[in-house]
Amino acid sequence: MAIAVSVQREAFDVAAEYAQLRRDNSADGATAMFVGSVRDFNVAQSVAHLELEHYPGMTEKVLREIAGEARQRWQLGRARIVHRFGRLDPGEDIVFVGAAAPHRQAALDACAFMMDFLKTRAPFWKKESGPDGERWVEARESDRDALRRW
């Protein structure tokens, strides 16, 4: 499928995602991928784990819109977004975005675009648990600023 999105509790498999971007797709010589993972620290406190909440139904719709917009702008053969929810420990993968295109910069730019929009538009919320207790992660100005270039 040209566009695929998944919102899931389970871990994803980068090799399987890559295979889907390439399957029956010898027209696209360029494939770019981005994976976001849980860091072991965020701002000041060290993070024991994250809990990711989302808005079922809206999340999938927004991700599909983002992938569709990227596909149109850069004439991607394929675009994929996978985002996890639920409990995530440090080092675990949170999000995968991938794009296959005839040209390398299109594939890389499409990944940057999808991540920038996902960060500010997709209804996910992170709650960090650390030694000082739980707190909801604040949205970052820099993520909103990142949208301006598109």
- Kindly state the smallest distance separating residue 124's Cβ from a copy of itself, in Å: 15
Q: Which strand (E) or helix (H) includes residue 33?
A: strand 30-37
130 forms part of the interface with a copy of itself (CB under 8 A): no
Strand, helix or coil for residue 19: helix
Quick one: CA dihedral 140, 144, 149, 150, positive or negative?
Answer: positive
Instruction: Please state the φ and ψ torsions of residue 39, each to the nearest 5 degrees.
Output: -80, 165
Nearest CA to 128 out of 55, 54, 38, 56 is that of 38
CB nearer a copy of itself, residue 4 or residue 33: 33
Based on CB atoms, which residue is closest to a copy of itself, 85 or 113? 113
Residue from the set 3, 33, 49, 64 that interacts with a copy of itself by CB under 8 A: 33
Question: 39 is in the binding site of which of another protein, a copy of itself, none (Cβ under 5 to 8 A by kind)?
Answer: a copy of itself
Q: Applying CB under 8 A, does 118 fall inside the site for another protein?
A: yes
Work out which of 111, 117, 124, 126 binds a copy of itself, going by CB under 8 A: 111
